Amino acid sequence: MNSKLKISSAFDGGNINLIEANAPSNIRVNIPLDTNSHFFQWFYFRLQGAMGEECRIYFDNASEAAYAEGWHDYQAVASYDREYWFRVPTEYVDGKLVICHTPEQDSVYYAYFAPYSYERHLDMLAWASSQDNCLSHDIGTTAEGRDITLLEIGKTQALAKNIWIIARQHPGETMAQWFIEGLLERLCDESHPIARALLEQCRFYIVPNMNPDGSIHGNLRVNSKGINLNREWQTPTEELSPEVLAVQNKMTEIGVDLFLDIHGDETLPVNFVDGCRNIPAFDQRIADMESLFSGTLLAVSPDFQVVKGYDNDYFGDETLKIASKWVGQTYKCLSLTLEMPFKDNELLPDSEVGWSPERSKILGADILYPIYQVVNSPSMKSDL
Ligand SMILES: [Zn+2]
């Protein structure tokens, strides 16, 4: 190894294996497997000792990643201060992902997407708990002993609609928690009319991070047991998927009138929602609410679109194991998976940052508009 160059990832969310770094132009790494799993794609590491050097960082095993097709047209993110993350030139050639970047400082961090740390998660929970109308519930414990936290926000109990929103079942999809941060800030803004109106009509039940163990391990898809939580909704267990079981138990107790599950998509360069058209319970009422939700979000956010998304049979036999489908089938309510891109929104691209924490937060705040529309629609009111 070049005596100056150093690669490290022994920190919260860090994930890389160094193969060799004998020159800035020949740094070779592998992305390690998720814990107890065959999935991998999330990377996050620090490079030191290459200031002013034209670096080429080769990801030798990129073609075996969970969504190798997602590397096409993908640009990695970098940061010097771990606050501002910008895109750096990245190629996918001959089965290898290559970051081509000349660091301006001695220390630079690279990641698959802007990380969302466990400390920031705890800060978010502490901030939210200090807001009026917000309660924090400890609903369970992960396999490694971390709290599974549910935030409850609302002003009223009488005839309140129960709105459930969960994020980061897939821990590497950090944009999902940035989205929740924006949503919470809007919802707790006491002068915002949408927040004020919704809190009179609804109670929000929000799980900002479904998979804290996987987040800390730097996993893309699974918890510390190697379990993909978004295939566990038909048969969750205390041993393998306590995160899902804890949420389902609370749903049984409280009820569900609307459900959103927030994700990131490795491949599609757009924001989209995936509904319940392929579940047995799907009917005109749910279809109407899906159309109203999408139409409203389309009207308020040029970052949303309805042309690209998953095909009807995308999940095949696994359909009812997916959170949004299981909730839709069980509670016969509007139930959506919302996907944001790892790349960028090709309809409104930003070459500097791509899809970003800031843009995820804005979409998270804007999501209150379609919720407000649906909550006040005849389809929703008919079952009061
Ligand atoms: Zn996901």
| Cβ-proximal residues to 131 (8 Å cutoff; 6+ apart), any chain | 153, 188
Q: Are strands 86-87 and 77-79 parallel, antiparallel or unpaired?
A: antiparallel
Q: Give the Cα separation of 241 and 331 in Å (integer).
A: 21
Residue 183 backbone phi and psi in degrees, to 5: -65, -45
Q: Which listed residue (173, 185, 243, 339) is catalytic?
A: 339
Q: What is the per-residue pLDDT for 116?
A: 98
The DSSP output letter for 66 is T
Domains of the chain, residue spans: 6-111, 118-381
- Tell me what pLDDT residue 300 has: 98
Closest C-alpha to 195, from 144, 135, 134, 255: 134
Residue-by-residue DSSP string for 4-52: S-EEE--STT-B-EEEEEEETTEEEEEPPPPTTSS-----EEEEES-TT
> Is there a contact between 45 and 8 (Cβ–Cβ < 8 Å)?
yes
Q: Which residues pair with 272 in a beta bridge?
A: 339
User: Residue type at 364?
Assistant: G
Which residue shows structure tokens 């069980």? 330
Backbone angles phi, psi at 299, to 5 degrees: -70, -30
Dist CA 370 CA 320 (whole Å): 25
User: Average pLDDT by consecutive 10-residue portion of the chain (384 residues)?
Assistant: 85 98 97 97 98 98 98 98 98 98 98 98 98 96 98 87 98 98 97 96 97 98 98 98 98 97 98 96 97 98 97 86 98 98 98 98 98 95 57
Q: Residue 48 C-alpha to ligand 1 middle, in angstroms? A: 31
Q: What is the DSSP string of 127-181?
A: HHHTSTTEEEEEEEE-TTS-EEEEEEE-S--TT-EEEEEEE-SSTT-THHHHHHH
How far does the centroid of ligand 1 lie from the alpha carbon of residue 314, in Å? Answer: 13
For the packed helices 175-187 and 118-129, what is the interaxial angle rounded to 10 degrees? 10
Distance (Å) from CA 96 to ligand 1 centroid: 23
Instruction: Report how far residue 283's alpha carbon sits from residue 346's, in angstroms, rounded to the nearest whole number.
Output: 32
- Show the 3-state SS of 110-122: EECCCCCCHHHHH
Euclidean distance between CA atoms 176 and 169, whole angstroms:
9
- Measure 188 CA to ligand 1 centroid, in angstroms: 26
Q: Are 78 and 109 in contact (CB under 8 A)?
A: yes
Instruction: Tell me how far the alpha carbon of residue 151 is from its chain's centroid.
Output: 17
- Please indicate whether the domains covering 6-111 and 118-381 agree at the CATH topology level: no
Count CB-CB contacts under 10 A for residue 30: 17
pLDDT value of residue 313 = 79
For residue 66, the model assigns a pLDDT of 97
Q: Please list, in sequence order, all residues whose beta carbon lies within 8 angstroms of the beta carbon of residue 289, skipping any fewer than 6 positions away.
A: 334, 374, 377, 379, 380
What is the distance between the alpha carbons of residues 289 and 374, in angstroms, rounded to a whole number? 6
339 alpha carbon to ligand 1 midpoint, in Å?
A: 8
Residue with tokens 């409850």: 152
Strand 134-141 versus strand 147-153 pairing type: antiparallel
Of 329, 202, 212, whose CA–CA distance to 275 is shortest? 329
pLDDT at res. 2: 59
pLDDT of residue 382: 59
CATH class label, 6-111:
mainly beta
Coil vs helix vs strand at 294: helix
Q: How many residues does the chain have?
A: 384
pTM of the model as a whole: 0.97
Which of the four CATH numbers 3.40.50.300, 3.30.1360.30, 3.40.630.10, 3.30.830.10 does domain 118-381 have?
3.40.630.10
Looking at this protein, which amino acid is placed at residue 310? Y
CA-based end-to-end distance of the chain: 67
The pLDDT value recorded for residue 380 is: 87
Told to judge if 152 belongs to the known catalytic residues of this protein, a careful annotator would answer: no
The structure tokens listed for 33 are 């497997």
In this structure, are residues 322 and 231 in contact, taking their beta carbons and an 8 Å threshold? yes
